A and B are shown apart, each in its own frame.
Chain A
Amino acid sequence: MEKIQLRLVITGLLLILLGFLYGMIHTIAVDHAPRLQLREDYKVAFTQAADKGFDNRTSKSTMNNIESVNARTIEYQRAIGAHTHAIYLGLMITILGLVLNFALANSPYKFHIMGALGAGAAIYPLGLALQASGMILAGEVMALLGSVAVIGCIGLIVLKLLTNNDAEQ
């Protein structure tokens, strides 16, 4: 049992490190202040419209610029989501890895719960990272599977913790 618990703890720490790396790479590769850059791009679109007025060409170009900023805004939100969820889910499964044997005392499903929890916590941020890279459908499916696994496992742990009395633990 201790070995499997430690495996979950190690998975959690690895997930935290991956979350760090993803954040750092994104910062270096994209920008330290991407939200400000997006505002700057809106500025270009609207200033151009104010300068040239709305003839057919300017209107089309303004709309294209705005759509491009909107698409990058969504990608940026997903990238931030992948970074923060990897770190927080990593923190969560590391802590739960320590206390899981205590929380799920006598449960025949504790190995399954540990496996599903570790897999779900890893899959969810991966799904968000895929969405940030433009693979929307695959990313959404992975994020859905990951969240169902994590929420289901936490639900079972809560149920077990709240129904067990302290003496039993």
Chain B
Amino acid sequence: MSADNRPSTVAAERILVLSGVTYVFLAMVLGVLFAFVVSHVANSGMKEAWTGIMAAVAIGDSTTVREQFAVIADLSAMRGRIMNSHSHIGASGLLALLLAALLPLTSLSRNTLRLLAWSVVSAVILQFAGVLCAYYFDFQAIYLADLGATILFAGVAIVLCGLLRRGEGAGDLTTYVQSRLNSPASRLLLKAGVTLLLLGMLLGSYLAWLIVSGEETQSLSAVAQSVEHLMEKDVSAAQSAIANFKFTQAKSGINAAAHSHGPVLALFMLLLALLRHRINLGERFFRLFSIAFATLSFALPLWIFLAINFWFNFRFFANYTGVLLACLTLVVIYGAARSKAENNDAAGEEA
């Protein structure tokens, strides 16, 4: 049986595609929010607090040291929670899309598939809400995130079991892939996605080389250097050592972001290529969409990399590229929602 003709998977696939793309969109919105509002404020606030700590230690003012560390802890928690939500909801969105792509290859029953799809949808919401509520309301809410992760784990394990016990009704892989990649736009997304994966990994290797060659340890040793300067009663040297620590930490974080955004966007493009038939947009329009999305996906990590290594104003290009990518993802949500209505009609006609 052709994998695309399995009516039992259609409903679950639709739920997972629509929710997966929505989660990726939410991740993009959080990322843009982080880049525009949180990152810069948190970094400069923490740098200022560290400088204050150096001066306070020099005069033996432990109350100010505690106060400044409280500022750092608060900014760090805010930045960490938003970054955590951004990365987890993005990864969960991709996971939901991956499961949608795999369902036709399993022989799981219609009820199992529906239960699976709704469990994944609610697990991602639990995880997302848990991480954010832990910061804004009560830290105990973090256990909601753990529960969400456990349900998500179970969802992936069920699909794995479905693939291991492929029986009657499971789709044929070769036919499945050929039918999914028969549109030129899908093939374009496939080529762009794999190329971006390669570039992202090459950038990752370069960053790994920087770590192995000592950049990470040098950055951290700046804290110890600041203490040495304080012992010598040289407060301004201690402050400049700690400023260097903050700068190199921010630099390695932004470089890591340049590395991680490429492969994530690449995986999103590959999944869109495989799930093209669940996105109800005209072929010509989808081709234009694919070209625009692929171009922006290549540009985003490039701007981030250039911003921290060459000219910091490239960050504005990165921010607006992120906004455009989020807008394009809204188009996919629209297409996935339209696909729902059309498939319902088709199911009605079949009945």
Bound together, the chains give a CA A92 to CA B224 distance in angstroms of 40
Bound together, the chains give a CA A144 to CA B226 distance in angstroms of 34
CB distance from B82 to the nearest CB of A (A): 13
Bound together, the chains give a CA A126 to CA B196 distance in angstroms of 24
Let me know if B198 is at the binding interface, CB within 8 A. yes
When distances are taken between beta carbons in the complex, the residues of chain A under 8 Å from B121 are none
- A113-140 residues at the B interface, CB under 8 angstroms: 140
- The answer to whether A99 touches B190 (Cβ under 8 A) is yes
Number of A-B contacts (CB under 8 A): 178
Given contacts A59-B227, A98-B101, contact A50 B56 (CB under 8 A): yes
CB distance from A81 to the nearest CB of B (A): 9
- B13-72 residues at the A interface, CB under 8 angstroms: 53, 56-57, 60-62, 65-66, 69, 72
10 A-B pairs whose Cβ atoms sit less than 8 Å apart in the complex:
A20-B152, A35-B80, A50-B57, A63-B227, A70-B223, A88-B263, A147-B205, A158-B191, A158-B198, A161-B194
Let me know if B146 is at the binding interface, CB within 8 A. yes
Let me know if B307 is at the binding interface, CB within 8 A. no
Given contacts A39-B69, A74-B220, A162-B191, contact A13 B201 (CB under 8 A): no
- Which of B65, B149, B159, B231 contacts A23 (CB under 8 A)? B149
B residues near A, CB below 8 A? 53, 56-57, 60-62, 65-66, 69, 72-73, 76-77, 80, 87, 91, 94-95, 98, 101-102, 105, 134, 139, 142, 146, 149-150, 152-153, 156-157, 159-160, 163-164, 166, 172-174, 176-178, 181, 184, 187, 190-191, 194-195, 197-198, 201-202, 204-205, 208, 212, 216-217, 220-221, 223-224, 227, 230-231, 260, 263-264, 267, 270-271, 274
- The answer to whether A46 touches B197 (Cβ under 8 A) is no
CB distance from A145 to the nearest CB of B (A): 13
When distances are taken between beta carbons in the complex, the residues of chain B under 8 Å from A35 are 76, 80
Residue on B with the closest CB to A153? B198
- The answer to whether A92 touches B227 (Cβ under 8 A) is no
When distances are taken between beta carbons in the complex, the residues of chain B under 8 Å from A66 are 223-224, 227
CB distance from A164 to the nearest CB of B (A): 10
- Which of A5, A67, A95, A169 contacts B98 (CB under 8 A)? A95
- The answer to whether A154 touches B197 (Cβ under 8 A) is yes
- Which of A9, A88, A103 contacts B102 (CB under 8 A)? A9
Given contacts A87-B91, A151-B202, contact A70 B224 (CB under 8 A): yes
CB distance from B255 to the nearest CB of A (A): 13
- Which of A20, A27, A91, A154 contacts B201 (CB under 8 A)? A154
Q: Which of B77, B160, B221 has the most CB of A within 10 A?
A: B160
- Which of B87, B101, B172, B227 contacts A2 (CB under 8 A)? B172
- Which of A10, A23, A50, A74 contacts B216 (CB under 8 A)? A74
- Which of A9, A47, A49, A103 contacts B227 (CB under 8 A)? A49
Given contacts A46-B57, A59-B227, A158-B198, contact A39 B76 (CB under 8 A): yes
When distances are taken between beta carbons in the complex, the residues of chain A under 8 Å from B98 are 91, 94-95
Let me know if A16 is at the binding interface, CB within 8 A. yes
Interface residues as binary, A66-106 with B (CB distance below 8 Å gives 1, 0 otherwise): 11011001100100000010011001101110110111000
CB distance from B289 to the nearest CB of A (A): 19
A residues near B, CB below 8 A? 1-2, 5-6, 9-10, 13-14, 16-17, 20-21, 23-24, 27-28, 32-33, 35-36, 39-40, 42-43, 46-47, 49-51, 53-54, 59, 62-63, 66-67, 69-70, 73-74, 77, 84, 87-88, 91-92, 94-96, 98-99, 101-103, 140, 143, 147, 150-151, 154-155, 157-158, 161-162, 166, 169
Bound together, the chains give a CA A51 to CA B178 distance in angstroms of 70
Given contacts A50-B61, A166-B187, A169-B187, contact A91 B149 (CB under 8 A): no
When distances are taken between beta carbons in the complex, the residues of chain A under 8 Å from B184 are 166
- The answer to whether B80 touches A10 (Cβ under 8 A) is no
When distances are taken between beta carbons in the complex, the residues of chain A under 8 Å from B194 are 96, 103, 154, 157-158, 161
Bound together, the chains give a CA A144 to CA B331 distance in angstroms of 40
- Which of B66, B134, B163 contacts A10 (CB under 8 A)? B163
- The answer to whether A2 touches B274 (Cβ under 8 A) is no
- The answer to whether A24 touches B62 (Cβ under 8 A) is no
- The answer to whether B208 touches A91 (Cβ under 8 A) is no
Bound together, the chains give a CA A77 to CA B252 distance in angstroms of 12
- The answer to whether A39 touches B223 (Cβ under 8 A) is no
- The answer to whether B201 touches A147 (Cβ under 8 A) is yes
- Which of B80, B101, B187, B190 contacts A36 (CB under 8 A)? B80
